[in-house]
Amino acid sequence: MASASPRRRELLSALFDTFEVIVSNVDEEALFVTPAEEGAQRVAKAKALEVARIAPEALVIAADTAVVVDSAVLQKPADAKDARRMLRMLSGRTHKVVTAVAVAFQGRCHTAVEMTEVDFARMTDEQIRRYVATGEPMDKAGAYGIQGRASIFITGIRGCYFNVVGLPLHRLGVLLEEQGLDIWKGQPGERS
């Protein structure tokens, strides 16, 4: 897995008993373009290909997530002030979470994108301040973690929950199966 995200590692462990994490050094901000679907795919593919060069025999899985509200793309906040700005944008509104998944194996790299709509309750400035003070928003696209304390602000979701966490497992499973990879063997890289 080409990701430092503990949430993605936890989700991937639902599919594979064992795997290795090799974090890519891709400059995500420099590679990201809009629209978000294209930017996320570009970043996920770059991460997968970089790690595939390091471990050419491995099945490499990478992902990139962005949050989109209106036409604004929200990635990870730069600091607490930026996190508060993002949360004010999300407050009382519906936004989209876009995650691209890339799978590199045997010289090939395939990508897919998942989109989920998330409804946020209206948040007071005090709620935003206190949530940001927990530190939870700082390493997450859109400045929130649906699986953490921000869960109390989520009023609805349409689509894949795991996508919002950062790794759409169904989309990943389909992508692996389309390439003839058998996730049921429990061994990354084995062909069916």
pLDDT higher than 60, residue 107: yes
Task: Return the amino acid letter for 125.
Answer: D
pLDDT higher than 80, residue 186: no
Residue found under tokens 């301040």: 129
Residues 110-146 pLDDT 10s: 999 999 999 999 999 999 999 999 999 998 999 999 9
pLDDT higher than 70, residue 191: no
64 is catalytic: yes
The per-residue pLDDT for 188 is 46
In terms of DSSP bridges, do strands 154-158 and 108-120 run parallel, antiparallel, or are they unpaired?
A: antiparallel
The percent of residues in the chain predicted with pLDDT above 90, rounded, is 68
To the nearest whole number, what is the mean pLDDT of the chain?
A: 91
Q: Which two tokens stand for residue 7?
A: 């949430």
Give the DSSP letter string of 13-73.
TTT-S----------HHHH--SSHHHHHHHHHHHHHHHHHHHSTTS-EEEEEEEEEETTEE
The per-residue pLDDT for 162 is 96
Cα separation, 75 vs 36, whole angstroms: 10
Q: Note whether 92 and 121 are within 8 A (CB).
A: yes
Cα separation, 121 vs 144, whole angstroms: 13
H or E stretch covering 109: strand 108-120
pTM of the model: 0.87
For 102-106, 142-146, 149-153, 184-188, which range has the lowest pLDDT when averaged over its residues? 184-188
**Exactly one of 17, 64, 82, 182 is catalytic; which is it?**
64
Per 3-state DSSP, the chain is made up of helix, strand and coil in percentages (nearest 5) of 40, 25, 35
pLDDT higher than 80, residue 190: no
Domains of the chain with CATH codes: 6-182 (3.90.950.10)
